[in-house]
Amino acid sequence: MATAVPGRERILIADGDPLARRFVGALLANNGYEVHLAEDGDSVLRSAVSLKPRLLVIDLVLPGKDGFEVLHALKGEPATARLPVLILSVKDREEDVVKALSLGAEDYVSRPFSTRELLARIRKILERTG
């Protein structure tokens, strides 16, 4: 979706829902981020290594490897272990949130979401992990 832009934070977005993926992508691109999209678990793992994004925004429901498996794989791999991950998911059960955070996610936002809140959380994570 994007080419590298110097000075802009690079964010990888992975969502199994095409509309949600495009919507979040457009939202972040319009707010000055360099956005890359992934549609399944395997492509997230590949892009996380090749693109070296500053942040991964990922849904738990993905074709192939689901969000938990991706998170587990990323945290177990030295090259991606420090990549901050924000979960943006329709799943909002307490056990999903706890599981994602205990697997190493930085933050959890459930859908439907407030765009302003999502942007604020992303800014905060980037500041914290910068």
Partner 1 sequence: MRLLMVRVVEGVGGFLLLLTVAIVINKALREMGERLDRRRRALLEPLVFEYLGAATSRPLRDVLPEPPSRRDRRLLERILLESARLVKGSTQERITAAFEGQGAVREAIRALESARWWKRADAAEKLGLMRSKAAVEPLVQRMNDPEPEVRIRAARALGLIRGRTSIRPLVGALADPSRWSAIRVAEILISVGSEAVDELLAAFDTLPQNGRVSALDVLGRIRGLRALGLMKSCLLDPHPDIRARAAHGLGLIGDPGTTPDLVAALQDQEWPVRAMAAKSLGRLGDPSAILPLREAMKDRRWWVRYNSGEALRHMGNAGLEALTDMLSSDDPYARHMAVAQLEEGRVIDQFVAELTSSDSPTRAAAIRFIDKVTAAARIDERTRQAATTAQEGVRQALSHILRAPAPPGGGGVR
Query: Could you list the residues that contact partner 1 (CB under 8 A)?
Result: 19-20, 22-23, 26-27, 30-31, 111-117
Q: Which C-beta is closer to partner 1: that of 27 or that of 73?
A: 27
**What's the closest the beta carbon of residue 30 comes to partner 1, in angstroms?**
5
Which helix or strand (DSSP H or E) is residue 35 part of?
A: strand 34-38
- Cα distance between residue 47 and residue 94, in whole Å: 29
**What's the closest the beta carbon of residue 115 comes to partner 1, in angstroms?**
5
**What's the closest the beta carbon of residue 113 comes to partner 1, in angstroms?**
6
Q: Which C-beta is closer to partner 1: that of 22 or that of 65?
A: 22
Spatial CB neighbours of 4, under 8 Å, sequence gap ≥ 6: 10, 34
Euclidean distance between the first and final Cα of the chain, in Å?
24
